[in-house]
Amino acid sequence: MEKIKIGISACLLGENVRYDGGHKLDRFLTDTLEQYVEYVPVCPEFECGLGLPRKHMHLEGKSDSPRLIVTKTRQDITKRMVTLAQKRVIQLEKEDMRGFIFKSNSPSCGTGKVKIFNEKNVPYDAGMGIFAGIFIKHFPLLPVEDEVCLHNPGQLENFIQRVFAFAKSCAK
């Protein structure tokens, strides 16, 4: 039986691509779920050439159109991330994915509840990471979740059901 392809934030697989040069290996995803799926790893921050390690970034501005700002230097790298994201989602169309698991709280990959800061560096709202927002708009029917939600048995079951239902609908 062919495994279903699921996109995933690369740091969750143990790849050292996070801003601090580390990872956020999630053993449940690699030791349990990976038996049933084939992962397509993505790290938009690394892929758009921000390097390793890189300076800490956060979202700033309005929740419906946040900007990606390097915290210490105040450099706005929104355009760079948006350009990469728009190209990357086109490339990901070829992967025939049936779902995506994003890294929670990431300014590029968080699917919700990502802190949005004001110009005084104070969090005042929450929103979606830049890449995740573009991805979800591009693939509106694709089931997505973050790794934290998948540790809740009910949400995990719901995600798996949505992935398999989506895969079945695509096979027709």
* Distance, CA of 65 to CA of 136 (rounded, Å): 14
Sequence letter at residue 35: Q
Residue 163: pLDDT band with limits 50, 70, 90: very high
Give φ, ψ of 127 to 5 degrees: -160, -155
Q: What is the pLDDT of residues 22-52, one digit of tens each?
A: 999 999 999 999 999 999 999 999 999 998 9
Q: pLDDT band for position 76 (50/70/90)?
A: very high
What gap in Å lies between CA 52 and CA 16, rounded to an integer? 9
Q: Which two tokens stand for residue 157?
A: 């079951």
Residue spans per domain, the chain: 4-54+77-112+129-171
Nearest to 29 by CA among 3, 2, 10: 10
Q: What angle do CA 132, 123, 26 make, to 5 degrees?
A: 45
Write down the pTM of the prediction.
0.95
Q: Whose CA is closest to 163, among 15, 4, 1? A: 4
Residue-level pLDDT at 121: 86
Which residues are CB-neighbours of 156 under 8 A, at least 6 positions away?
149, 150
How much of the chain exceeds pLDDT 70, in percent?
99
Structure tokens at 6: 């699921």
Mean pLDDT on 62-79: 93
CATH class as words, domain 4-54+77-112+129-171: alpha beta
For the chain, the helix, strand and coil percentages under 3-state DSSP, each to the nearest 5: 40, 25, 40
pLDDT digits (tens, 9 = 90+) for 110-153: 998 999 999 888 999 999 999 999 999 999 999 999 999 999 99
Which pLDDT value is given to residue 38?
Answer: 96
- Check whether 1 has a pLDDT greater than 80: no
